[in-house]
């Protein structure tokens, strides 16, 4: 009787797991949209259009930079949804002629998304729409990317990075490109 009880219990657990798997497969799109949400849809749409940046790339960067937290602050004092560094914020505010700019404004979702998509457009122009270089530049800075492209230790052809010297940037690139592909598959 005890052996039969354990066998029945295993069978019931198996059936329960099977039911859970079937339900998960039927709801995979819902599950993926829960894991990969779209926040700030209107603002991302607006500035992605203005600066000609794929909105799914913006989402992937935002997800990895701040997990959609407008009050996020990094160890290096980057701020907001897209983690704009103070120096980038100051540069963007001059280029975009933002009146009375202050670093605290980087916590405003609209301004932060505007600056982030503007900077992605700068990287896009600089690196010829190479998304990998744009993502690496967003994390490590465009100056570092240019330096690495001109160094045979990191680039054989001056156009592609075969090695990225910053471990954080290597990991960041993989995560952002993965999330970009996932966002594209889920929502397109």
Catalytic site residue from 52, 65, 97, 132: 65
CA–CA dist 166, 157 (Å, integer): 20
CA–CA dist 184, 21 (Å, integer): 24
Q: Which residue has the tokens 């940037």?
A: 169
| Tokens linked to 135 | 């993502």
| Tokens linked to 118 | 């503007």
Q: Are residues 55 and 62 in contact, defined by beta-carbon separation less than 8 angstroms?
A: no
Q: Which residue has the tokens 């990317």?
A: 145
Our answer to whether residue 95 is catalytic in this structure is: no
- Give the residue numbers annotated as catalytic, written as ranges: 65
């Amino acid at each position: 009787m005890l052996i039969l009880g354990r066998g029945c219990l295993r069978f019931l657990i198996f059936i329960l797991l099977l039911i859970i798997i079937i339900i998960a497969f039927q709801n995979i799109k819902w599950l993926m949209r829960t894991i990969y949400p779209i926040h700030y849809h209107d603002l991302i749409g607006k500035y992605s259009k203005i600066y000609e940046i794929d909105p799914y790339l913006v989402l992937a960067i935002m997800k990895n930079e701040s997990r959609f937290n407008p009050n996020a602050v990094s160890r290096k004092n980057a701020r907001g949804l897209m983690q704009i560094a103070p120096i980038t914020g100051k540069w963007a505010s001059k280029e975009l002629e933002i009146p009375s700019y202050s670093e605290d404004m980087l916590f405003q979702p609209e301004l932060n998304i505007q600056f982030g998509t503007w900077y992605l457009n700068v990287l896009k122009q600089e690196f010829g729409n190479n998304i990998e270089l744009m993502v690496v530049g967003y994390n490590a800075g465009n100056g570092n990317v240019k330096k690495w492209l001109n160094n045979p230790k990191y680039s054989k052809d001056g156009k592609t990075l075969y090695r990225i010297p910053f471990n954080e940037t290597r990991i960041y690139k993989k995560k952002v490109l993965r999330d970009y592909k996932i966002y594209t598959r889920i929502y397109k």
